[in-house]
Amino acid sequence: MQSNFIEREKIILNDLQNKMLISGWSEKILQNTIVENISYNSDGLKVKGYLAYPKDTSKKYPCLIWNRGGYGDNGAIDVFNAGGMFGNIANEGYVVFASHY
C-alpha cells in the first residue's frame, strides 16, 4: 500500500486485550484486519492517527473518515478501542482513517 505517511506501525495488542476484543467484538477482527498507528504532516504539523483496513489489499474499499469528538484527552481513542472499533468497521469492508488530534 503506497502512502504519504511519515510513520506507520501495526498495532499489537497484548493477550488480555485480544481476549477482550474477541469477547466484545469478534475474532474475525484479528483474522481479517490490520490496524495501524500512523503519523502524517498537515500544514507543517505532525498529526497522529489510526488506519484500519482489511488484510485483503487486492480490492478497493470505501473509506470512512473518523473525526473524534472532544479536545485533548476528552474523547480520545486509545490503542485498544482503535483496534476494536476501527478493526470492526474494517472487517465489514471499509478503510478507516482517523486523526488523533
- Convert the pLDDT of each residue in 35-80 to its tens digit: 999 999 888 888 899 999 999 999 999 999 998 877 777 778 899 9
Concatenated DSSP letters of 42-74 = ETTEEEEEEEEEES-TTS---EEEEE--SSTTT
**CA 101 to centroid of chain Cα atoms:** 14
- pLDDT computed for residue 6 by the predictor: 87
Give the Cα-Cα-Cα angle 12, 14, 19 (nearest 5 degrees). 110
pLDDT confidence bin for 3, thresholds 50/70/90: low
Residue-averaged pLDDT of the chain:
90
The amino acid occupying position 97 is F
Which pTM was predicted? Answer: 0.88
**Longest distance between any two alpha carbons in the chain, whole Å:** 41
71 vs 8, residue with greater confidence:
8
Q: How far apart are CA 28 and CA 55, in angstroms?
A: 11
